Amino acid sequence: MEKELEKMNSEEYGIVCFTELTEEQKNKAIALFVDGFYNVISPISRKKETLRAFFKACFVQENTYVCLCGDTPVGITATGDWQTRAVRIEKKVLREVFGCFKGSYMYLPLKAAMTKPKVSEKTESYIDFITTDANHRGKGIATMLISHVCRVTACTSCSLDVLSKNTNAKRLYEKIGFKVVRKIFNPLALFSGMGMPVFMRLEVKKEVVL
Task: Give 55-67 pLDDT, tens digit per residue.
Answer: 999 999 999 999 9
Look at residue 130 in the predicted model and tell me its pLDDT: 96
Q: Model's pTM, two decimal places?
A: 0.87
Asked whether the beta carbons of 184 and 161 are under 8 A apart, the reply is yes
| Number of domains the chain contains | 1
Dihedral of alpha carbons 42, 44, 47, 48, sign: negative
Asked whether the beta carbons of 20 and 71 are under 8 A apart, the reply is no
Asked whether the beta carbons of 190 and 39 are under 8 A apart, the reply is no
Q: How confident is the model at residue 26 (pLDDT cuts 50, 70, 90)?
A: very high
Q: Which domain holds residue 131?
A: 2-208
Asked whether the beta carbons of 49 and 93 are under 8 A apart, the reply is no
Question: Given the DSSP bridges, would you call strands 124-132 and 72-80 parallel, antiparallel or unpaired?
Answer: antiparallel
Phi, psi of 7, deg, nearest 5: -65, -20
Look at residue 184 in the predicted model and tell me its pLDDT: 77
Inform me whether the pLDDT recorded for 121 exceeds 80. yes
Note the helical H segments in 1-90: 2-6, 23-36, 38-41, 48-58
The rounded distance, in Å, linking the Cα atoms of 100 and 82 is 32
Q: Where are the beta strands (DSSP E) in the chain?
A: 13-17, 64-69, 72-80, 124-132, 157-163, 179-183, 197-203
Query: What CATH number has the domain bearing residue 152?
Result: 3.40.630.30
Q: Mapping DSSP to helix (H, G, I), strand (E, B) and coil, where does residue 74 land?
A: strand
Look at residue 158 in the predicted model and tell me its pLDDT: 96
Look at residue 4 in the predicted model and tell me its pLDDT: 47
The whole-number average pLDDT for the span 192-210 is 75
